[in-house]
């Protein structure tokens, strides 16, 4: 499916998705409560068939936190980038997509561990790299490490 048709198709499923200019991928900003439904449809419907989630990233945007999904269809060869922005920095939560794409389970744990993005209904939301009881989320821009101060 070419990008123009794909754009129509996505806007058909989620009318309030916001299109974003991007050179490499077709990018949309999806409202947090619509993401799980969209993910399920993207994977299941035959003309979309986005079966491969090749990257999931958390980004700290100062005012809010953002989750970026990179999707590809292994059969139809089209790609898509989706972004979900939490309404605020501290309490924002996003629905998990680990029931749709299993690979998201580890990547969401990483985003939780390092950025503090919470994922609703995640089967095993624990810290993955840092120890239990670690204070703060290191990849946030306002993180201060009081033990290992390395100023460059």
Binding site residues, other proteins, CB under 8 A: 22-25, 51-55, 57, 59-60, 68, 70, 74, 77, 81, 101-103, 105-107, 110, 114, 127-131, 138-139, 152
CA atoms within 13 A on the CB side of 123: 11
Q: Which is nearer to other proteins, 12 or 141 (CB)?
A: 141
Q: What is the nearest approach in angstroms of other proteins to the Cβ of residue 86? A: 15
In the chain, what is the greatest distance between 2 CA atoms, to the nearest angstrom? 52
Q: How far is the CB of 12 from other proteins (least distance, A)?
A: 25
Nearest distance from C-beta of residue 79 to other proteins, angstroms: 9
d(CA 91, CA 80): 27
33 vs 106, beta carbon nearer other proteins:
106
Cα separation, 12 vs 92, in Å, equals 26
Helix (H) or strand (E) holding 20: strand 18-20
Identity of the residue, 77 or 135, whose beta carbon is nearer to other proteins in the bound complex: 77
Measured from the CB atom, the residue of 35 and 97 that comes closer to other proteins is: 97
Q: Is 39 helix (H, G, I), strand (E, B) or coil?
A: helix
Residue 36 three-state SS: helix
Of residues 15 and 141, the one with the C-beta less far from other proteins: 141
> Residue 45 corresponds to which tokens in the numbers above?
């419907």
């Amino acid at each position: 499916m070419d990008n123009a048709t794909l754009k129509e198709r996505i806007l058909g499923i989620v009318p309030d998705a916001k299109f974003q200019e991007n050179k490499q991928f077709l990018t949309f900003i999806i409202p947090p409560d619509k993401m799980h439904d969209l993910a399920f449809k993207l994977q299941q419907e035959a003309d979309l068939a986005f079966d491969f989630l090749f990257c999931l990233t958390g980004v700290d945007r100062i005012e809010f936190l953002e989750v970026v999904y990179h999707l590809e269809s292994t059969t139809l060869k089209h790609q898509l980038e989706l972004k979900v922005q939490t309404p605020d920095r501290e309490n924002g939560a996003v629905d998990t997509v680990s029931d749709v794409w299993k690979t998201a389970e580890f990547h969401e744990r990483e985003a939780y561990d390092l950025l503090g993005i919470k994922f609703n209904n995640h089967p095993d939301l624990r810290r993955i790299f840092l120890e239990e009881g670690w204070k703060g989320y290191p990849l946030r821009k306002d993180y201060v490490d009081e033990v290992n101060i390395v100023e460059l």
